[in-house]
């Protein structure tokens, strides 16, 4: 199975487009810039949700043998990472399912703010979004450490997992810029 | 006197959009979950009969050295019920458990009878009971029947264990992680797995409360012998 697959390319494209939107909008003044950063956030969180769903499907298929959804040999592969019974879950919950739940919370905050930029609660939601995204960073660092040093036959790099990790880091950057816009009065 | 006119700030919408955002988020998540499950259905994993046995990676002793052992690496995923693939007997024990000590003879007999059709695997746990401290040396001595004082709750030399030396792998589960994964709290407990890893027989179900009392040897005869 090739490492570069159509789903992976779609996820990477989603990340690239989101970063493009973020970079283009972060310094734009007023509401237009804010909406641009929010659109980038929606891109990152969409990649996070769909990518997590994909890794959860890989997880389930690997429980009943090898998966046709990702490569299982070499340095860059997900078989030895998502298929490792010791590290592919947190207290029995697959990481993919945790990713879906976490990005769902992020998506909800972003969508709420996007739907009503001037709501009274929008400042609180921007702060909450920022802290929720930051809370995910230690988990990303932990998972990178696991795939590089702890999984069966380490080191391995799981491409789908990496895309999701980058999506979270993109969300941290987006939430940071949103917060900055609120604080500096350039929100609208 | 001039009056300063307050700059009018943009106001939020009259309706609370958060309910709509929540519903939309729930819809998206449901869709992603449904598509994921369609792509790869969630298998039932657990120690109950009919479920896929919980997989594990741990160190195992083969009589010469310790090496990594993954249960699912030995499965025949294409098993269709008629091939000659080997079944599995997973035996959870503790080198200090008196019942496991006594069962040593039965395990040796079962192995001599079924080893050509069944892969034997012993999981050596360390129960949280006084005098149940174990070491890798003790596990090796229990398996090989070599001299090591400390087996059977520190009452016996391992060389005196009933039965013959066991020539199948012993997995080190002194951390009790596999026991926990399989939902077990005591030993000895045995499981028979089909060649594709499906639990075919769980001792606790048959010999526990309300069970039919079927013994391991009878279960092997029924499941493997009848093939």
Is the pLDDT confidence value at B38 over 80?
A: yes
Higher pLDDT, B84 or B53: B53
Measure CB to CB from residue B33 to each of A66, A69, A100 and give the nearest one.
A100
pLDDT of residue B9: 64
Is the pLDDT confidence value at B6 over 60?
A: no
What percentage of residues in chain A have a pLDDT greater than 90? 74
Q: Strand, coil or helix: what is B124?
A: strand
Question: DSSP letter string over B1-25?
Answer: -PPPPPPPPPPPPSS-THHHHHHHH
pLDDT digits (tens, 9 = 90+) for A2-56: 667 889 999 999 999 999 999 999 989 899 999 999 999 999 999 999 999 999 9
Interface of B with A in 27-56 (CB under 8 A): 28-29, 32-33, 35-37, 39-43, 45, 52, 54-56
Chain A residues with beta carbon closer than 8 angstroms to that of B25: 104, 107-108, 111
- The angle subtended at Cα B220 by Cα B117 and Cα B127, nearest 5°, is 100
pLDDT of residue B7: 57
Query: How many angstroms away from the CA of A125 is the closest CA of chain B?
Result: 11
pLDDT digits (tens, 9 = 90+) for A95-126: 999 999 999 999 999 999 999 999 999 999 99
Which residue pairs from B106-115 have beta carbons closer than 8 angstroms and sit at least 24 positions apart in sequence? B106/B163, B106/B216, B106/B217, B107/B163, B107/B166, B108/B162, B108/B163, B108/B164, B108/B166, B109/B163, B110/B216, B110/B217, B110/B220, B111/B166, B111/B167, B111/B168, B112/B164, B113/B220, B114/B89, B114/B220, B114/B224, B115/B168
Q: Please choose, from the candidates A37, A56, A44, the residue with its C-alpha nearest in 3D space to the C-alpha of residue A12.
A: A44
pLDDT digits (tens, 9 = 90+) for B192-204: 999 999 999 999 9
Q: Please choose, from the candidates A62, A75, A45, A57, the residue with its C-alpha nearest in 3D space to the C-alpha of residue A151.
A: A75
Strand-strand pairing, B87-94 and B189-193: antiparallel
Interchain CB contact of B11 with A (< 8 Å):
yes
Provide the 8-state DSSP code for B45: B
pLDDT digits (tens, 9 = 90+) for A123-147: 999 999 999 999 999 999 999 999 9
Q: Please choose, from the candidates B194, B212, B204, the residue with its C-alpha nearest in 3D space to the C-alpha of residue B89.
A: B194
Query: How far apart (Å, rounded) are the C-alpha atoms in residues B94 and B75?
Result: 25
Enter the CATH code of domain B57-225.
3.40.30.10
pLDDT of residue B8: 64
Best mutation target, B36, B50, B69, B76, to test chain A (most A CBs within 10 A)? B36
Measure CB to CB from residue B57 to each of A54, A65, A86 and give the nearest one.
A86
Q: What's the whole-model pTM score?
A: 0.84
Chain B residues with beta carbon closer than 8 angstroms to that of A59: 40
Adjacency order of strands within the sheet including B189-193: B66-70, B57-61, B170-173, B118-125, B87-94, B189-193, B199-202
Chain B residues with beta carbon closer than 8 angstroms to that of A58: 40
Interface of A with B in 76-115 (CB under 8 A): 84-86, 96, 100, 104, 107-108, 111-112, 115
pLDDT digits (tens, 9 = 90+) for B128-179: 988 888 999 999 999 999 999 999 998 999 999 999 999 999 999 999 999 9
- Rounded to whole angstroms, what are the CA distances from B158 to A81, A167, A169, B143, B210? 39, 56, 55, 9, 35
Q: Break chain B into its structural domains and give their ranges.
A: 57-225
Give chain A's end-to-end CA distance (angstroms, integer).
Answer: 49
Does B35 sit within 8 Å of A86, measured CB to CB?
no
* Segment B50-73 mean pLDDT: 94
Q: Please choose, from the candidates B53, B44, B42, the residue with its C-alpha nearest in 3D space to the C-alpha of residue B199.
A: B53
Which residues share a beta bridge with B191?
A: B90, B202
Is the pLDDT confidence value at B1 over 50?
A: no
Provide the 8-state DSSP code for B70: E
**Per the CATH hierarchy, to which homologous superfamily does domain A6-184 belong?**
VKOR domain (1.20.1440.130)
Query: How far apart (Å, rounded) are the C-alpha atoms in residues A14 and B224?
Result: 52
Burial of B223 (C-beta count, 10 Å sphere; 0-12/13-18/19+)? middle
């Amino acid at each position: 199975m090739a490492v570069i697959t159509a789903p992976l390319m779609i996820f990477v494209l989603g990340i690239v487009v989101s970063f493009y939107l973020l970079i283009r909008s972060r310094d734009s003044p007023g509401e237009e810039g804010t909406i641009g950063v929010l659109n980038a956030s929606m891109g990152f969180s969409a990649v996070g949700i769909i990518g997590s769903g994909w890794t959860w499907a890989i997880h389930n298929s690997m429980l009943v043998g090898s998966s046709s959804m990702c490569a299982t040999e070499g340095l860059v592969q997900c078989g030895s990472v998502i298929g490792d019974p010791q590290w592919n879950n947190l207290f029995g919950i697959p990481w993919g399912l945790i990713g879906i739940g976490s990005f769902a919370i992020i998506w909800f905050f972003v969508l709420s703010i996007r739907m009503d930029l001037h709501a009274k609660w929008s400042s609180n939601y921007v702060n909450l979004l920022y802290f929720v995204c930051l809370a995910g960073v230690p988990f990303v660092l932990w998972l990178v450490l696991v795939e590089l040093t702890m999984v069966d036959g380490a080191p391995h790099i799981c491409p789908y997992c990496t895309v999701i990790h980058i999506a979270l880091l993109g969300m941290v950057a987006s939430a940071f810029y949103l917060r900055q816009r609120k604080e500096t009065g350039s929100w609208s | 006197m001039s009056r300063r006119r307050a700059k009018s700030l943009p106001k939020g919408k009259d309706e609370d959009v958060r309910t709509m955002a929540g519903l939309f988020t729930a819809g998206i998540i449901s869709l992603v979950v449904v598509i994921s499950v369609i792509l790869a259905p969630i298998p039932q994993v657990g120690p109950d009969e009919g479920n896929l046995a919980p997989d594990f990676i741990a160190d195992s002793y083969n009589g010469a050295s310790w090496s990594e052992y993954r249960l699912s690496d030995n499965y025949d995923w294409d098993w269709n019920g008629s091939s000659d693939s080997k079944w599995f007997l997973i035996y959870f024990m503790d080198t200090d458990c008196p019942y496991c000590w006594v069962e040593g003879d039965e395990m040796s007999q079962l192995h001599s009878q079924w080893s050509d059709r069944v892969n034997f695997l012993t999981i050596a746990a360390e129960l949280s009971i006084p005098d149940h401290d174990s070491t890798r040396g003790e596990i090796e001595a229990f398996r090989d029947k070599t001299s090591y004082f400390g087996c059977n709750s520190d009452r016996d030399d391992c060389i005196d264990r009933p039965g013959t030396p066991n020539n199948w792998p012993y997995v080190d589960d002194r951390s009790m992680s596999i026991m926990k994964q399989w939902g077990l709290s005591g030993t000895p407990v045995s499981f028979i797995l089909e060649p594709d890893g499906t639990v075919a027989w769980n001792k606790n179900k048959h010999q526990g409360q309300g069970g039919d009392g079927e013994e391991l040897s009878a279960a092997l005869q029924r499941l493997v012998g009848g093939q």
